[in-house]
Structures are given as structure tokens and as C-alpha cells.
């Protein structure tokens, strides 16, 4: 004889990934910096995508994370404001300025794009090349407090839930390191030893 209601759906424990249940993308600051710098800033695209994608899923909103990542220059303020709204709801005592970091990101992204275009046309060399490369480090430094605020808003200030490098991370780090080697070799051949 069967026990219980035969018409009742079977019970199963639903397990939700820890990172997917967060409102924003949580990542350890050291991992963020490593991935951002060694991928020559391309990690920023993924970073913006993940933040908006997780925000969309968490809040059940209909927004498109891919265009927001591709055109992050227009959506950086939106992201920092969303993070700040969550921190204010939690009555967090984290001291940061969301508008300032978003504005600095926009300014240095414009500096990067303009200097890269100038370098491609041979204008202002080698300084346009140097400025374009150095902005990668500046943008990483500007986005780091935003990442720390996102971690805080998700209750994981140190990003402990996402501090280990995955096989995909290693693959991107290898590709990025090769790209950095090409940049270094090109710089050497073009500026230091043109007769190479």
C-alpha cells in the first residue's frame, strides 16, 4: 500500500548556485585585478555583463545585459547607482562615491579610446600608445572600489565565494599574457629597435 497522496508531485530539494543567487557579480578583488589587467581590459566586458545579468535575474527585470556591457560607457552610472541603492537598503556603512567612480570610468574609457585611435594613426607617438596602455591600469583601479561595493552589497565583502581561478580564467589569462607579449614585442620593434 502506498503512503501519502499519490497525486502529489514528488518533492525535490532545489539547489541554487551561490553566485547566481546574488544580486551582483561577486569576485575577490585580487582575482578581479588579475583578470582585468592580464586580459588587457577585456574582462571588463564580461564583468559588466555578469553584473547586469545577475541584477536582471535577481530582480526579475527585463533588461539586456549584453548591450549594457558593450556600451558600458552609457550604463556605468546605472550600475553603480543600483549597487548603491542596495547598500542603502542594507544600511551599509561602506563609504564610497558611486557617481564619482562611474564618471572616472567614463572619462578614462574616453581617454583610452581617443589615445588608441591617435596611436593607430601615428599621432602623438609614442605617448598616445603609452597613455592607451596605462589607462588599462587606471580603469582597473577605478572599477576596483565598485567591485568591492558589489561584494559588500551581496554580503561577501572579500569575494570569498569567487576567489579561485577556474579553467576558463586560466585560458583567458594565457591568451591575455600572449597578447601582452605581442604588445611588448611590437613596442620593442617599433620604438626601441626599429632595425630588428
The domain segmentation of the chain, as residue ranges, is 29-183
CA dist., res. 93 & res. 184, Å (int): 43
Q: Which pLDDT score, from 0 to 100, does residue 5 have?
A: 64
**pLDDT tens profile 78-115:** 999 999 999 999 988 888 999 999 999 999 999 999 99
Sign of the alpha-carbon dihedral angle for 115, 116, 117, 118: positive
C-alpha cell read off for 66: 549584453
Answer yes or no: is pLDDT of 58 > 90: yes
Number of residues in the chain: 196
Q: Which pLDDT score, from 0 to 100, does residue 3 have?
A: 59
Tell me the CA distances in angstroms from 8 to 4, 102, 139, one per residue in order. Answer: 8, 51, 55
C-alpha cell read off for 15: 539547489
What is the reported pTM?
0.83
The proportion of the chain whose per-residue pLDDT surpasses 70, expressed as a percent, equals 89
Q: Which pLDDT score, from 0 to 100, does residue 12 have?
A: 52
8 A C-beta contact, residue 102 and residue 169: no
Answer yes or no: is pLDDT of 190 > 80: no
Q: Calculate mean pLDDT across residues 5-25.
A: 62
Q: Which pLDDT score, from 0 to 100, does residue 15 have?
A: 42
**pLDDT tens profile 136-171:** 999 999 999 999 999 999 999 999 999 999 999 999
Please give the mean pLDDT across all residues of the chain.
89
Residue in the block written with cell 575577490: 28
10-19, 64-73, 115-124: lowest mean pLDDT where?
10-19
Amino acid at each position: 500500500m502506498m503512503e501519502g497522496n499519490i497525486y502529489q508531485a514528488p518533492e525535490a530539494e532545489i539547489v541554487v548556485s551561490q553566485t547566481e543567487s546574488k544580486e551582483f557579480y561577486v569576485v575577490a578583488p585580487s582575482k578581479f585585478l588579475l583578470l582585468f589587467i592580464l586580459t588587457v581590459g577585456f574582462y571588463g566586458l564580461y564583468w559588466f555583463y555578469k553584473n547586469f545579468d545577475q541584477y536582471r535575474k535577481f530582480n526579475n527585470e527585463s533588461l539586456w545585459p549584453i548591450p549594457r556591457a558593450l556600451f558600458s560607457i552609457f550604463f556605468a552610472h546605472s550600475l553603480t547607482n543600483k549597487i548603491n541603492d542596495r547598500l542603502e537598503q542594507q544600511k551599509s556603512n561602506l563609504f564610497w562615491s558611486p557617481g564619482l567612480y562611474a564618471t572616472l570610468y567614463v572619462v578614462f574609457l574616453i581617454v583610452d579610446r581617443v589615445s588608441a585611435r591617435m596611436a593607430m594613426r601615428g599621432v602623438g607617438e609614442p605617448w598616445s600608445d603609452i597613455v592607451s596602455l596605462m589607462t588599462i591600469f587606471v580603469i582597473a583601479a577605478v572599477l576596483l572600489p565598485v567591485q568591492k561595493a558589489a561584494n559588500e552589497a551581496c554580503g561577501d565583502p572579500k569575494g570569498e565565494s569567487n576567489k579561485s581561478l577556474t579553467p576558463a580564467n586560466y585560458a583567458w589569462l594565457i591568451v591575455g599574457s600572449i597578447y601582452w607579449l605581442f604588445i611588448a614585442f611590437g613596442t620593442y620593434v617599433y620604438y626601441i629597435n626599429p632595425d630588428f
